[in-house]
Amino acid sequence: MTTPTTPRGRLLVVDDEVELMRALCESLGEQGFAVQGLSDPLLAPDALRDGGFDVLLSDLMMPGTDGIQLLRRALEIDPNLVGIIMTGQGTIQTAVEAMKTGAFDYILKPFRLQTVLPVLDRALEVRRLRVENLRLRAIVKELTFESPRYRIVGSSPAVRRVTQMIEKVAGTNATVLVRGPSGTGKELVARAVHGNSARRDKPLVTVNCATLQETLLESELFGHERGAFTGADRTKPGLFEVAEGGTLFIDEVAEMAPTLQAKLLRVLEDGHYRRVGSTQEKNADVRVVAATNKPLEDEVRAGRFREDLFFRLNVIAITLPPLRDRREDVPELVAHVLRTRQLGKAPFAVDPEAMRVLCAYDWPGNIRELANVLERAQILAEGDTITVDDLPESVAHAAGPAPAAPGATTAAPPNPDDLDAVERRHVIDVLRRHDGNKVHAAKAWASAGGRCTG
């Protein structure tokens, strides 16, 4: 008994020349394709609805309809179908019309099988990409977030990979390790994983290992008994107890001391832990999502992080790229921040030159830095539009000047006789030198006698 193999692709061949249609179906079947042939084009729509085909190979001239009309109808049934038109009466006009209808390619009869196979391989790759794109769009649409402010924004390939991983892992109980530089949104990933899991109605609890000393972090995670240490005047439940049934997000896990790493490993392996000062075992039903901005492989080699804990945390790794590696998402992120963190009555707009600067900057602080810059810009903007003058000097200078248009001339400085323009320019310069701090800028202005200096 032979094991059935997966076909290279599912093809529907439509041609009123019965012998040619049968010969083509037989040849393609021998090449590993699953093929169905029809000599009556009027039967094709029903076959397309029922068959789940990847590619339609249709003759151009047929009784009752033609290949272009059939392709138009086929794409209404399945927009991701890839159509190829075959004809022995090819003209430039019919080729153009076929392409406008949505045909992937146009093959002239008579043809050899070896010339058709590469076309089919390319068509199947297009089909795969169309289906994958549709699936990823559905993933992003289906992911739920606790509020518009706390959502993952962007449509770059890197962001699509992140949302794809979230969709795959959210419904499981697998431990997740979120990796990426500071400010890239690691906590947002943890919130999305929790919010799209079966644990969404239970608590999501967060702890940052970098903000607590070892003894305090142990007590915070596992709790302590009364009298366990000086100042422990009452029994306190730990975050594993608080998060029971839900998710515990452990940020900056690389900062955890080795002794605590061993205790965390035990919880992850068998769900058991003890409060500080207790001999009683407790069980934890908690999903752990950990995050780090350090390469844990390097920390393991340096002896600062347990290898067994690394392997236990790294069951599913979701890596967030720095913002400089996904610049195409900056306009979308800017719109999101200005909409969800607006300081005025209506969202601010961003003029084209300011947007160019924002897209060109490297953002060492990533999305967190971008949000802070936009908050500052909303405060400094004189109208309802953010300009380059409202951005920090470090951001504007790092982006460099805009490329000059052909024949363009450098803008002239303000007319020295136009006192309002000169003073406005000076006020902006003073604000830039003091990072937008109006109090410090006002003091500097007053110390200069309220005059333009320099």
Contact 223, 241 (CB under 8 A): yes
Report which DSSP code applies to 319. E
Contact 271, 310 (CB under 8 A): no
> CA 442 to CA 437: how far, in whole Å?
9
Read off the pTM: 0.59
- Amino acid of residue 365: G
| 173: Cβ contacts below 8 Å, ≥ 6 apart | 287
> CA 226 to CA 204: how far, in whole Å?
26
> CA 109 to CA 134: how far, in whole Å?
34
Report which DSSP code applies to 303. T
Contact 28, 13 (CB under 8 A): yes
Dihedral sign for Cα 210, 214, 215, 220, please. Answer: positive
* pLDDT score, position 376: 94
Residue 272 pairs in a beta bridge with 283
* pLDDT score, position 93: 72
- Amino acid of residue 370: L
* pLDDT score, position 29: 93
Structure tokens at 117: 């196979």
Tell me the three-class secondary structure of the chain, residue by residue. CCCCCCCCCEEEEECCCHHHHHHHHHHHHHCCCEEEEECCHHHHHHHHHHHCCCEEEEECEECCEEHHHHHHHHHHHCCCCEEEEEECCCCHHHHHHHHHHCEEEEEECCCCHHHHHHHHHHHHHHHHHHHHHHHHHHHHHHCCCCCCCCCCCCCCHHHHHHHHHHHHHHCCCCCEEEECCCCCCHHHHHHHHHHCCCCCCCCEEEEEHHHCCHHHHHHHHHEECCCCCCCCCCCEECHHHHCCCCEEEEECHHHCCHHHHHHHHHHHHHCEECCECCCCCEECCCEEEEEECCCHHHHHHCCCCCHHHHHHHCCEEEECCCHHHHHHHHHHHHHHHHHHCCCCCCCCEECHHHHHHHHHCCCCCHHHHHHHHHHHHHHHCCCCEECHHHCCHHHHHHHCCCCCCCCCCCCCCCCCCCHHHHHHHHHHHHHHHCCCCHHHHHHHHHHCCCCCCC
* pLDDT score, position 406: 47
> CA 271 to CA 205: how far, in whole Å?
17
For the chain, domains (ranges, CATH) are 10-134 (3.40.50.2300), 157-319 (3.40.50.300), 324-402+413-447 (1.10.8.60)
Phi, psi of 372 (to 5 degrees): -65, -40
- Side by side, which strands form the sheet with 103-108? 34-38, 10-14, 55-59, 82-87, 103-108
Residues of the chain whose pLDDT is less than 70?
1-5, 89-92, 94-95, 135-150, 399-454
Strand duo 247-251 + 204-208: pairing: parallel
H/E element holding 117? helix 113-142
Structure tokens at 264: 């965390």
Strand duo 272-273 + 282-283: pairing: antiparallel
* pLDDT score, position 3: 45
How many other C-beta atoms can be found within 10 angstroms of the C-beta atom of residue 4? 6
Closest CA to 121 of 32, 187, 61: 32
> CA 145 to CA 188: how far, in whole Å?
9
Alpha-carbon torsion angle 399, 405, 409, 414, nearest 10: -50
Cα 183 to chain centroid distance, Å, stands at: 15
Place of tokens 């490297």: 362
Q: For residue 17, is it left (φ>0), alpha (ψ between -120 and 50) or beta?
A: beta
Place of tokens 């927009």: 79
* pLDDT score, position 139: 56
